[in-house]
Structures are given as C-alpha cells and as structure tokens.
Structure 1
Amino acid sequence: MSKVNSGMEFIAARGLGKLAAKMEIEILEFTPDRAVARMPVSGNTQPIGLVHGGAYAVLGETLGSMHANFLAPTDKVAVGVDINATHTSSATEGYVIGVCTPIRTGKSLTVHEIVITRDSDGARCSTVRITNFYKPQR
C-alpha cells in the first residue's frame, strides 16, 4: 500500500493529472475501501447536452487507476489494461458522482467497478469496470 498515511494525502501528493483537471474532477473521499469523486455536467457534454460517454469513462478510469495505485504492492505501479462502460441513463445538469470499489485486488491485477450516478436523484448513469496490471515501477 501507499507510504502516505491517507488516501487524500496520496491524491494530494500524486495529483489526478491534466485531463482530470480539465474535466474538473474532484475527489470527495479516498480510502482503502472506496474512492468517490464528482464531475460537473457542464463542459463534459455531447452536442445535444448529455454527458459524453467518454467523460464517464474518464471519470471511471481516473478513480479506478488512482485507487489501484493507492493499493499497489511496494515498488509496483498500476496501468490500465481494460476498461468498459455501460451507459444506462444520462445527466444534463449539476454533477455526476462516481463511486469506485475494488472487485478484486491481487498481486498482479486489480479490478474495480465504478458506479456513476446523477447527484440530483441518484439515478445510475453509467457502470464502468477497469482492470489494472501491476508492473515494476521504474
């Protein structure tokens, strides 16, 4: 596990990256058990005003990859090897909330599920699953 004391310290030390910053992704909670973030609908939409499916994938990968790295064995780094997203609804205003939980954390692979909902009514908009591979850190 990370050498910092908490998940929020890990995020502060590592950062989320430039893409997450452009999409205004904000971490709300980050523990060994789960990670939670929000992303504004505004600025992350398709031309017809719905959250872009790729934006859901970016939110999911940001949470899943960061959480996998937080849980990474010493001297290993997590890199994404597979991601999929199923969109079941959408949002047109406010924020969407991503809740990331590990499905399996092993020595070489980890799998996380990220459930993304509308902040207004909790309706599920997308379910993202990401698999990360742990490789030696250079």
Structure 2
Amino acid sequence: MNKKDILKSFNDRNKNTLMETLDIEYVAIGDDFLTAKMPVNAKVHQPYGQLHGGATAALAETVGSAASNFFIDTENQFINGIQLSINHIKSKREGVVFATARNIHAGKTTHLWEVTIVDENDDLISVAKMTNIILKKR
C-alpha cells in the first residue's frame, strides 16, 4: 500500500471517534515518522482561550498509537497505550498544531515513541513520550 493510501485508511478509521471530534487528521508518513494535525480553535480551548493540554495529549497519543501499527501484525495484534508523559512548552490560541511520532524502541511487546508537537510556524508547543503494549487479538 502506498503512503497516500495508508494515510487515507488511517483517516477513515477516525470516523465516530475522539479523533473526529477533535478534527485530527493524519497528514504525512515516512520511513521513521507519522504526522497528524489538529486545528486550534474554541473546540480544543480551555477556559482561558488557550489550547487545552488534554487535547494536546489526545493528539500525541493518537499519533503515537497509530504509528505502532507499522511494527505489528495488524491481523493478529493490536496496540494499547499504557503510558503518556507530556510537557507543554508554549501556549497556542489559534491556528494548527502538528504532532510527529518517531520511534525510540520497537520491541516485541512494547513500543516507545517521542512525539513532538509544533505549530504552523514550527514553534515547539509540547513534547511527549508514549509507551504502547502489543496485545494479541482474541
């Protein structure tokens, strides 16, 4: 499957999920990364009109989980996130943020990802580390 088709299949799975609610869209894929974007607007603001840290964490976990699918047998295995740690560096009121997951470790039972979140000006917004566990489908 080519990269365009992979992105389409990932985006198609977002229907009727939190990802659709937050308008998260996968936009780029490479040999060592996966990137998704999310608009920053009132839908993802906290009461002070800034990007909510929980929405940012949801974006980080979304892209980190999805990226693990490249390292597993998706017919017989699935991914669950088991740990997410995120540092918020800069606030954001409007525009777009992009989360890029890069693999640190792809073992047989766990994957570790670094997820960098930047805005449309390439300003660093947040940095996350995420651990996924690989489970067998029943």
TM category (shorter chain) comes to 0.7 to 0.9
Q: Any conservation in 2 of the 1:32–1:71 contact (CA below 8 Å)?
A: no
**Structure 2 stretches lacking a partner, 5+ long:** none
2:87 aligned residue: 86
What amino acid does structure 1 have at the position aligned with 2:53?
A: G
Q: For this pair of structures, how many residues does the alignment match?
A: 133
CA distance in 1, matches of 2:2, 2:118: 29
Letter paired with 1:37? A
- The one-letter amino acid paired with 1:122 is D
Partners of 2:136 and 2:100 lie apart in 1 by: 28
CA distance in 2, matches of 1:31, 1:132: 20
Give the secondary structure class of the aligned counterpart of 1:112: strand
| Counterpart residue type for residue 106 of structure 1 | G
Identity percentage over the alignment?
Answer: 30
State the Cα distance separating 1:59 from its structure 2 match.
Answer: 0.3
Aligned to 2:129: 129
- Tell whether 2:29 aligns with 1:33: no
Unmatched tracts of structure 1, length 5 or more? none
Q: TM-score, normalised by structure 2?
A: 0.88
* 1:1-138 alignment, distance < 5 Å: 4=1, 6=3, 7-8=6-7, 10-12=9-11, 15-16=13-14, 18-42=17-41, 43-73=43-73, 75-119=76-120, 121-138=121-138
1:49 alignment partner, SS class: coil
Q: What do the CA deviations read for 1:51-74 (whole angstroms, capped 9, x no partner)?
A: 000011000010011111232146
Structure 2 Cα separation of the partners of residues 37 and 100 of structure 1: 9
TM-score calculated relative to the size of structure 1: 0.88
